[in-house]
Amino acid sequence: MSMEGDLGIDGLKHDERDVLAAIIDVQKDDGSFESDILRAHHLITKLSHSTFFRSLRTLRDKGFIEKCDGRERNFYRLIFESSH
């Protein structure tokens, strides 16, 4: 199995992997991050608005991230799971 397979990211598109890498870079200690701060990350500044939010939605749908409860709409949390 490849490293991507071991990490569960082998099914992600290039843009989605870039967004995930940027999330890992900007996340706080509890795994939370703001999409506004994430949007400014150098790995994804060239993504269109729609591609950025489509990638976030895909990462959420595939169980990599979740929306933070009780927070504003642009707050998310990275989920650490071994199976995606």
What values do phi and psi take at 30, rounded to 5?
A: -90, 5
pLDDT at 63: 93
| pLDDT band per the 50, 70, 90 thresholds, residue 8 | low
pLDDT, tens only, 23-43: 999 999 999 999 999 999 999
State how far the alpha carbon of 22 is from the alpha carbons of 1, 31, 70, 78, in Å. Answer: 24, 12, 24, 11
CATH hierarchy code of domain 3-78: 1.10.10.10
pLDDT at 21: 95
Mutual orientation of helices 49-61 and 14-26 as an angle, nearest 10°? Answer: 80
Per-chain mean pLDDT for the chain: 86
Contact 59, 67 (CB under 8 A): no
